[in-house]
Amino acid sequence: MFKFWLSAVLCCALSVGTPVAAPADTQPSVEESKMQTTHRTWFITGVSSGFGLEMTKQLLERGDTVIGTVRNKDKVKELTARYPQTFDLVVLDVTDLQAVHRTIEDMFKRHERVDVIVNNAGYGLFGAAEELDETEIQKILATNLTAPIMIVHDCLPYLRRQGGGRIIQVSSYGGQVAYPSNSLYHATKFGVEGFCESVAQEVAKFNIGITIVEPGGARTEFRYGSARVAKLMPEYDHVHGFLKMLDPKNGLAPGDPVRMASRMIESVDLEPAPLRQVYGSQALKATIERLQQRLADYQTQTELAASTDF
């Protein structure tokens, strides 16, 4: 279980748009019809790799418009050249909140409407709590928690005024299940899930749906590129098993990032918006087991809880 979790950490919407008639000589399925009859505009953070890149490729290929953020334009120059009219590339450091405010304001000025907001940018940080320094703690909180909160905060007025939209928050099953040496990563994912669950109830009346996606391990560059490791201490060697997982020679994650990206895109067609979706059978199994353990623990506390009532 711990081995799979480490893979998972490292991996890691309202039907609107312009109708397009399906060809007369085809008989598409219901799901295919939805895909063929709607063109949307998507805002996705972190499109240079991982789920963000896979979603962007699929969306552009089917004719949608993507406003995508990157820190380095060179990583997506082929897409920029191939889709000059529908790929709106923005250089953005999501931890720069003033830049976030400007980006969202400019985006809604340039585009008549933005149908889907995808909070995807983020990274993993490995190390026991004592091993992490203050800078590492502040940076992951700023990237994985504060940034997506502020992006949602800034987009809501526009979504509300345009009559609705969808928000997809890319989390992890680490937003429900916690393991050692990932305390800050878990803190950001548990935190952003609580935020989204609350906001979903606040904005449902405005036809704004929020979906939290909780992927398990996927074969993305995230596993080997953006994950950070703290300065390790020998006192915590007993929780340093993740070091083996950083080496691809020890096996690849089971999840297919292309299929996971497809499920994220498809979630936008579901009504009502699903609050959570778990991707990966092992991730779902681990999540259910942990929630069952938590529930069983709560169920033993009936007398304790009652003892504190007036």
The count of other CB atoms within 10 Å of the CB of residue 169 is 27
Distance between CA atoms of 209 and 167, rounded to whole angstroms? 6
185 noted as active-site residue: yes
Helices (H), the chain: 2-11, 30-37, 50-61, 77-82, 97-110, 134-141, 147-161, 183-203, 242-245, 257-266, 281-299, 302-306
Q: 83, 173, 179, 185: which one is catalytic?
A: 185
Q: Fill in the DSSP letter of residue 155.
A: H
Distance between CA atoms of 160 and 202, rounded to whole angstroms? 11
Cβ atoms of 94 and 121 within 8 Å: the answer is yes
Distance between CA atoms of 261 and 244, rounded to whole angstroms? 27
Distance between CA atoms of 59 and 87, rounded to whole angstroms? 10
CA 258 to chain centre: 14
SS3 call for 29: coil
Distance between CA atoms of 162 and 64, rounded to whole angstroms? 18
Residues labelled as active-site residues: 185
